[in-house]
Structure 1
């Protein structure tokens, strides 16, 4: 659960996990998509920037 200021209804609302529609890991962080209580689709960026992993060859 988190709070969010809606860009459509301009109300600050609590957003529950059941309202989340998608989570996408990007270079800017985790993009969270959800639906506000007013019915408007909303997004916010949260979390840390995704870390790229490189393959390392180990000597035997």
Structure 2
């Protein structure tokens, strides 16, 4: 389970495993596709590779 802010209904929803329709491992991270409670297909990029690298300053 995870929460997601839906772009269609503009609500923060709890997404259950039964709503997940697809998982894809990519070089950018894990792409999770699911159906919101409102019926809209949504996606979320997650995983270690999805984290934005922090800028390193060299003095």
Return structure 1 stretches of 4+ with deviation > 4 angstroms.
none
**Residues 25-48 of structure 1, C-alpha deviations (whole Å, 9 max, x = no match):** 011100000000000000000012
Counterpart residue number, 2:7: 7
In structure 1, how many angstroms separate the alpha carbons of the residues matched to 2:24 and 2:48?
12
* RMSD over equivalenced CA pairs, Å: 0.5
Note the residue ranges of structure 1 that are not aligned, 5 or more in a row: 50-60
TM-score (normalizing by structure 2): 0.81
What is the DSSP-based 3-state SS (H/G/I as helix, E as strand, rest coil) of the residue aligned with 1:21?
A: strand
Counterpart residue number, 2:18: 18
Q: Larger % of helix: which?
A: 2
1:43 aligns with 2:24: no
The structure that has the greater radius of gyration is 1
